[in-house]
């Protein structure tokens, strides 16, 4: 979800239960600007690990337009074909 707090900034929030999170955030005064699906996968902490995953996605002909790491070592990816990203990640 992309959130806007009183028109000042945007924040991306990764949640498991979108409906529950949506209600809680709206009730807390946040304005939800957009929601999008993502693929989330564990990734090894070693040089080249992300490159190998991204190569598999590219070889599947799928584009990624959102990518970040969580504090617990998961890679979050999104794009126009999230199902394709998930299939490429296996």
pLDDT, tens digit (0-9, with 9 covering 90-100), for 48-81: 999 999 999 999 999 999 999 999 999 999 999 9
Burial code of 10-43, b = ≥16 C-beta within 10 A, e = fewer?
Answer: eeeeeeeeeeebeeebeeeebeeeeeeebbeeee
**Overall pTM surpassing 0.85 (yes/no):** no
Q: For residue range 3-22, what is the model confidence (pLDDT) as tens digits?
A: 555 556 777 888 989 999 99
Residues of the chain with CATH 3.30.70.260: 37-90
Query: Which of the four CATH numbers 3.40.1260.10, 3.40.50.170, 3.30.70.260, 3.40.640.10 does domain 37-90 have?
Result: 3.30.70.260
Distances (CA, A) of 27 to 17, 21, 22, 43, 84: 16, 10, 8, 34, 34
Contact 67, 41 (CB under 8 A): no
């Amino acid at each position: 979800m992309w959130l806007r707090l009183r028109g000042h900034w945007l924040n991306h929030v990764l949640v498991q239960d979108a409906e529950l999170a949506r209600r809680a955030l709206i009730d807390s005064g946040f304005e939800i600007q957009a929601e999008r699906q993502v693929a989330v996968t564990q990734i090894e902490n070693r040089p080249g690990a992300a490159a190998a995953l991204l190569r598999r996605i590219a070889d599947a002909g799928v584009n990624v337009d959102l990518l970040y790491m969580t504090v617990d070592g998961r890679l979050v990816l999104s794009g126009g074909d999230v199902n394709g990203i998930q299939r490429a990640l296996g």
